[in-house]
Structure 1
Amino acid sequence: MDSPIGIFDSGVGGTSIWKEIVQLMPNEHTLYLADNKHAPYGEKDKDAIVQRCINNTELLLENRCKLIVVACNTATTNAIDYLRKSYKVPFIGIEPAIKPAALQTKTKKVGVLATKGTLASSLFNNTAKLHASGIEVLEKEGTGLVELIEAGKTLSKETEQLLASYVNPMVDEGIDCLVLGCTHYPYLLPSLKKILPPHIKIIDSGEAVARQTKAVLLQGNLMAATQNRGVVHRFYTNKGLDVLRGFLEGSDVTIAHLDF
């Protein structure tokens, strides 16, 4: 089926998920919405987050998307249940990788760096209770990190110092796994690897999300043709093209401004 996979995020963070999807399924068309104008979602209340997700979903469905990846932890934890009840298209959500961290920790202490909206959600708390029994989960809001990444300051000294102020106290508490609970945060890996001791494992959801996307497409007989020539990857942003271009440098994509 040659309809595109739809992906949306509050900004550029979901491009980390997009890259995993394209690597795993190179024959699939994609359509990505970067809702930069309304970033970050993590500082909004639940009703506002759900409304943005409805808006993004409607636009993707207008463009015939066969499956939608909610490439944002905050959007997933606050809106995925509503979206699945309201639309027939399959949805793939993103949530912090508590389960693999709980399985891998030896110190029984796991750190989670996420947005306020994710940490406050019932889905996050239910996931932590389900998979982290007997594990101490240290939560930290990454306030300001999304804004710095959206401003193109991913590798700046300012970002590194702010990041260190969030993760170092968790290191001092004895964590041996750090879960990245926001799709923007994988872009902080170079700084995290400088800050964190080498024994601490960094865990994000990107590869698992790509595998789940493929599994759902196969189950629904929705995969693109094996030899799909002329694969198209379209990106739309409602605020500034330059930062998005920077995160997609070297990729064969089209990027355009769209009011939504």
Structure 2
Amino acid sequence: MTIGFFDSGIGGLSVMAEALQRLPAQNYLYMADTLHVPYGPKDKDEVKGYIMDAVSRMMAEGIDALVVACNTATSIAVNELREMYSLPIVGMEPAVKPAVEMNRATGKRVLVFATQLTLSLPKYYALVSRVDEGGIVDSLPLPELVKYCEELQFDKQVISEYFRDKLSGYNLDDYGIIVLGCTHYPFYRHILREMLPPHIQIVDGNAGTVRRLSALLTRAGIAHHGSGNVSFMCTNDDPVYIDKMHTALAYFRNQNDE
């Protein structure tokens, strides 16, 4: 049995790393849309076509379930994918609901980091409108962070300066939780943690996504039979990018083992 993971680039590896830890008895196929990364600045309909083409290639490889490990791609295409394919499909959305629930009693605000496209889509506005009764959610696009991640730019000084610049207009005493609303962003959780006040929690949707995946696999009767083997694909068939994905996955897992 093989579970497919799809993202525009290497960001979804942060989700697959969670699956490898929680569901080790599966095989995995990871697809990155290297021809079109990043999705954040692009047109919605343009991106939807890219997603459909890439997932079609994954289906031809014989996957048994699919995780759309990208908040932007989920917002744009997950409903259409579920209409087209009968296998279990799990999408992602920024972890705004749990963040609001965790923060409700503290009087603190929630700050959501995401791509421009995710923040501009009706799905995000509907999510915030549904769960943010107290008006405590603010949103901040961090487009450069995807670019840094794709370049494997993990230098602490560079990234810390970037975060300080982006957060310079915010009084962090007002916030209790930061939501990492793009799957590239957890690659920088450890750097962000070091520079934030200790009272601020950092949350993402990765663990919840994998719990949902596990439940759907059980419901569909898909057995946990595999060896934890991971295969990589990318839309431009670039062996250099395949090596980059190996490097990024190892980096992420090492950071989270510390």
The question of a shared fold, defined as TM-score above 0.5 by the shorter chain, is answered with yes
**Which residue of structure 2 aligns with residue 249 of structure 1?**
250
CA distance in 1, matches of 2:14, 2:170: 25
Is contact 2:3-2:63 (8 Å) kept? Answer: yes
Instruction: Structure 2 unaligned segments of length 5 or more: list them.
Output: 253-258
The separation in 2 between residues aligned to 1:191 and 1:108, in whole angstroms, is 22
Stretches of structure 1 lacking an aligned partner (at least 5 in a row): 252-260
Candidates 25, 28, 33, aligned match of 1:27: 25
CA contact (8 A) 1:111 1:170 kept: no
**Residue 163 of structure 1: how far off its partner (Å):** 1.9
Secondary structure of the structure 2 residue equivalent to 1:89: coil
Q: Equivalent residue of 1:249, what SS? A: helix
The equivalent of 2:15 in structure 1 is 17
For 1:250 and 1:116, the matched residues in 2 are separated by 26
Is it true that 1:138 corresponds to 2:114 in the alignment? no
| Percent of matched pairs sharing the same residue | 32
| Aligned mates of 2:134, 2:39 — CA distance in 1 | 31
The two structures have a TM-score, normalised by structure 1, of: 0.89
1:188 partner amino acid: Y
Q: Give the distance between the partners of 1:45 and 1:169, measured in 2 at CA.
A: 28
- Determine the C-alpha separation between the residues in 2 that align with 1:129 and 1:108: 18
Alignment of 1:39-54 (within 5 A): 39-54=37-52
Show the 5 A alignment for 1:181-260: 181-225=181-225, 228=226, 230-237=227-234, 238=236, 239=238, 240-241=240-241, 242-249=243-250
Alignment of 1:58-69 (within 5 A): 58-69=56-67
- Give the equivalent residue in structure 2 for 1:258: none
Contact 2:68–2:92 (8 Å) recurs in 1: yes
State whether residues 88 and 220 of structure 2, in contact with CA within 8 Å, keep that contact through their aligned partners in structure 1.
no
Q: Name the TM-score, length of structure 2 as normaliser.
A: 0.90
* Partner of residue 38, structure 1: 36
